[in-house]
């Protein structure tokens, strides 16, 4: 078994596509409308399945926002330099909610950002 994708419900599909592609450097992999059930799906990522997991952005027509709830935590991305990634994301208009630094109780360098819908994205420094 392997993870194929994670689905996030979004309130403005184009805004989310712009964030994940323009700010985080992902690619729009595919997009499809379902008029009968009034939703549109957009898959973004750094590559396609089966080599890479994807994010499925789901826009239910006419729904502009969702309650975050308390169960969802975050999506994590590995980056070679968290501080440099934060600067690039900030320059592109992204929202840094926790600056680069060691994780509490450890030495791994992390940071947190939020997407336009308020979903948390963790950046984890991975060398190599």
- For 90-123, the pLDDT digits (tens) are 999 999 999 999 999 999 999 999 999 999 999 9
pLDDT band at 71 (very low <50, low <70, confident <90, very high): confident
Share the mean pLDDT of the chain. 95
Q: Please tell me the predicted confidence (pLDDT) of residue 50.
A: 87
Distance CA 62, CA 4 (A): 27
Name the catalytic one among 56, 64, 99, 122: 122
**pTM value?**
0.90
Where do the H-state alpha helices sit in 2-117? 13-18, 82-91
| Residue 4 pLDDT exceeds 80 | yes
Domains in the chain: ranges and CATH = 5-60 (3.10.180.10), 75-125 (3.10.180.10)
Q: Is residue 56 annotated as part of the catalytic site, yes or no? A: no
| Residue 125 pLDDT exceeds 70 | yes
Q: What is the mean pLDDT of residues 48-77?
A: 93
Do residues 86 and 96 make contact, with C-beta atoms less than 8 angstroms apart? yes
Q: What is the mean pLDDT of residues 56-70?
A: 93
pLDDT over 70 percentage in the chain: 99
């Amino acid at each position: 078994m392997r993870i194929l994708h994670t689905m996030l419900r979004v309130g403005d599909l184009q805004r989310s596509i712009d964030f994940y592609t323009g700010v985080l450097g992902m690619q729009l992999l595919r997009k499809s409308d379902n008029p009968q059930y009034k939703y549109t799906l957009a898959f973004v990522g750094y590559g396609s399945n089966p080599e890479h997991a994807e994010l499925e952005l789901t826009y239910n027509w006419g729904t502009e926002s969702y309650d975050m709830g308390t169960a969802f935590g975050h999506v994590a991305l590995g980056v070679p330099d968290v501080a440099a990634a934060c600067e690039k994301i900030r320059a592109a208009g992204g929202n840094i909610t926790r600056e680069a630094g060691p994780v509490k109780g450890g030495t791994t360098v992390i940071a947190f950002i939020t997407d336009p819908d308020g979903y948390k994205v963790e950046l984890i420094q991975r060398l190599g």
